[in-house]
Structure 1
Protein backbone atom coordinates (compact mmCIF):
# COMPACT_ATOMS: atom_id res chain seq x y z
CA UNK A 1 0.00 0.00 0.00
CA UNK A 2 1.26 3.48 -0.89
CA UNK A 3 0.01 6.61 0.85
CA UNK A 4 0.45 10.25 -0.16
CA UNK A 5 0.95 12.16 3.10
CA UNK A 6 0.28 15.90 3.11
CA UNK A 7 1.68 17.61 6.20
CA UNK A 8 0.25 21.08 6.79
CA UNK A 9 2.75 22.66 9.16
CA UNK A 10 3.18 26.14 10.54
CA UNK A 11 6.28 26.87 8.42
CA UNK A 12 5.75 24.68 5.34
CA UNK A 13 3.42 22.33 3.51
CA UNK A 14 5.00 19.00 2.57
CA UNK A 15 4.00 16.00 0.49
CA UNK A 16 5.65 12.61 0.94
CA UNK A 17 5.05 9.16 -0.43
CA UNK A 18 5.00 6.40 2.19
CA UNK A 19 5.03 2.75 1.22
CA UNK A 20 3.80 0.42 3.95
CA UNK A 21 6.29 -2.15 2.65
CA UNK A 22 9.26 0.12 3.40
CA UNK A 23 7.81 2.45 6.05
CA UNK A 24 10.22 5.12 4.88
CA UNK A 25 8.79 8.44 3.70
CA UNK A 26 10.03 9.69 0.33
CA UNK A 27 9.84 13.51 0.16
CA UNK A 28 8.14 14.79 -2.99
CA UNK A 29 7.41 18.50 -2.57
CA UNK A 30 7.68 21.27 0.01
CA UNK A 31 6.46 24.87 -0.04
CA UNK A 32 7.41 27.32 2.72
CA UNK A 33 4.64 29.28 4.38
CA UNK A 34 4.95 32.10 6.87
CA UNK A 35 2.21 33.35 9.16
CA UNK A 36 2.09 37.09 9.70
CA UNK A 37 2.10 38.84 13.05
CA UNK A 38 0.28 42.18 12.77
CA UNK A 39 0.65 42.83 16.51
CA UNK A 40 2.37 41.23 19.50
CA UNK A 41 0.63 37.99 20.47
CA UNK A 42 -1.40 37.83 17.25
CA UNK A 43 -0.69 35.41 14.41
CA UNK A 44 -2.59 35.36 11.13
CA UNK A 45 -2.52 32.72 8.41
CA UNK A 46 -3.20 33.64 4.79
CA UNK A 47 -5.85 31.01 4.05
CA UNK A 48 -5.83 31.63 0.29
CA UNK A 49 -2.04 31.18 0.20
CA UNK A 50 -2.29 28.09 2.42
CA UNK A 51 -4.92 26.55 0.16
CA UNK A 52 -2.79 27.25 -2.92
CA UNK A 53 0.28 25.63 -1.32
CA UNK A 54 -1.73 22.57 -0.23
CA UNK A 55 -3.10 22.07 -3.73
CA UNK A 56 0.36 22.51 -5.29
CA UNK A 57 2.03 19.87 -3.11
CA UNK A 58 -0.96 17.53 -3.51
CA UNK A 59 -0.81 17.86 -7.30
CA UNK A 60 2.96 17.26 -7.24
CA UNK A 61 2.45 14.16 -5.11
CA UNK A 62 -0.27 12.76 -7.34
CA UNK A 63 1.82 13.46 -10.45
CA UNK A 64 4.83 11.73 -8.87
CA UNK A 65 3.14 8.67 -7.35
CA UNK A 66 0.32 8.31 -9.89
CA UNK A 67 -1.21 4.85 -10.04
CA UNK A 68 0.78 3.63 -7.01
CA UNK A 69 -1.43 5.65 -4.63
CA UNK A 70 -3.92 3.77 -2.51
CA UNK A 71 -4.77 6.56 -0.07
CA UNK A 72 -4.13 10.17 0.91
CA UNK A 73 -3.51 11.19 4.53
CA UNK A 74 -3.49 14.75 5.85
CA UNK A 75 -1.73 15.89 9.03
CA UNK A 76 -2.40 19.35 10.46
CA UNK A 77 -2.43 21.33 13.66
CA UNK A 78 -5.85 22.76 14.36
CA UNK A 79 -4.54 26.31 13.84
CA UNK A 80 -3.54 25.58 10.26
CA UNK A 81 -6.72 23.71 9.28
CA UNK A 82 -9.00 25.60 6.92
Structure 2
Protein backbone atom coordinates (compact mmCIF):
# COMPACT_ATOMS: atom_id res chain seq x y z
CA UNK A 1 0.00 0.00 0.00
CA UNK A 2 1.23 3.45 -0.90
CA UNK A 3 0.53 5.66 2.14
CA UNK A 4 0.79 8.89 0.16
CA UNK A 5 -1.78 7.65 -2.37
CA UNK A 6 -4.06 6.75 0.53
CA UNK A 7 -3.70 10.26 1.96
CA UNK A 8 -4.37 11.86 -1.42
CA UNK A 9 -7.48 9.72 -1.90
CA UNK A 10 -8.81 10.52 1.59
CA UNK A 11 -8.22 14.24 1.20
CA UNK A 12 -9.79 14.52 -2.24
CA UNK A 13 -6.94 14.60 -4.73
CA UNK A 14 -3.52 15.99 -5.52
CA UNK A 15 -4.75 19.54 -6.03
CA UNK A 16 -6.30 19.62 -2.55
CA UNK A 17 -3.11 18.22 -0.97
CA UNK A 18 -0.95 20.68 -2.89
CA UNK A 19 -3.09 23.56 -1.63
CA UNK A 20 -2.99 22.32 1.97
CA UNK A 21 0.81 21.95 1.89
CA UNK A 22 1.57 25.05 -0.14
CA UNK A 23 3.38 23.08 -2.82
CA UNK A 24 2.88 22.44 -6.50
CA UNK A 25 0.67 19.75 -7.97
CA UNK A 26 3.80 18.28 -9.58
CA UNK A 27 5.59 18.06 -6.21
CA UNK A 28 2.64 16.14 -4.77
CA UNK A 29 2.63 13.84 -7.81
CA UNK A 30 6.33 13.08 -7.28
CA UNK A 31 5.75 12.44 -3.58
CA UNK A 32 2.95 10.04 -4.48
CA UNK A 33 5.11 8.22 -7.05
CA UNK A 34 7.79 7.67 -4.40
CA UNK A 35 5.27 6.78 -1.70
CA UNK A 36 7.19 8.69 0.94
CA UNK A 37 7.20 12.07 2.64
CA UNK A 38 10.12 14.40 1.90
CA UNK A 39 13.29 14.20 3.99
CA UNK A 40 12.44 17.61 5.44
CA UNK A 41 9.54 16.04 7.31
CA UNK A 42 11.96 13.93 9.34
CA UNK A 43 14.48 16.71 9.99
CA UNK A 44 11.86 19.03 11.44
CA UNK A 45 11.90 21.53 8.58
CA UNK A 46 8.27 20.82 7.61
CA UNK A 47 5.16 19.50 9.32
CA UNK A 48 3.23 18.06 6.39
CA UNK A 49 2.06 14.97 8.29
CA UNK A 50 0.43 17.08 10.97
CA UNK A 51 -1.28 19.31 8.39
CA UNK A 52 -2.55 16.37 6.39
CA UNK A 53 -3.77 14.45 9.44
CA UNK A 54 -5.58 17.47 10.85
CA UNK A 55 -7.54 17.74 7.58
CA UNK A 56 -8.38 14.03 7.33
CA UNK A 57 -11.36 13.99 9.72
CA UNK A 58 -9.68 11.21 11.69
CA UNK A 59 -8.97 8.90 8.72
CA UNK A 60 -5.29 8.73 9.75
CA UNK A 61 -2.94 10.28 12.28
CA UNK A 62 0.31 12.13 11.75
CA UNK A 63 2.10 9.32 13.62
CA UNK A 64 0.69 6.72 11.22
CA UNK A 65 1.75 8.79 8.22
CA UNK A 66 5.26 9.42 9.56
CA UNK A 67 5.73 5.71 10.29
CA UNK A 68 4.34 4.47 6.99
CA UNK A 69 5.70 7.09 4.60
CA UNK A 70 9.28 7.11 5.82
CA UNK A 71 11.96 7.32 3.10
CA UNK A 72 13.72 4.42 4.83
CA UNK A 73 10.81 2.05 4.19
CA UNK A 74 10.14 0.49 0.84
CA UNK A 75 6.73 0.83 -0.75
CA UNK A 76 5.04 -2.44 -1.68
- TM-score normalised by the chain length of structure 1: 0.32
TM-score by length of 2: 0.33
Higher helix share: 2
Structure label with greater radius of gyration? 1
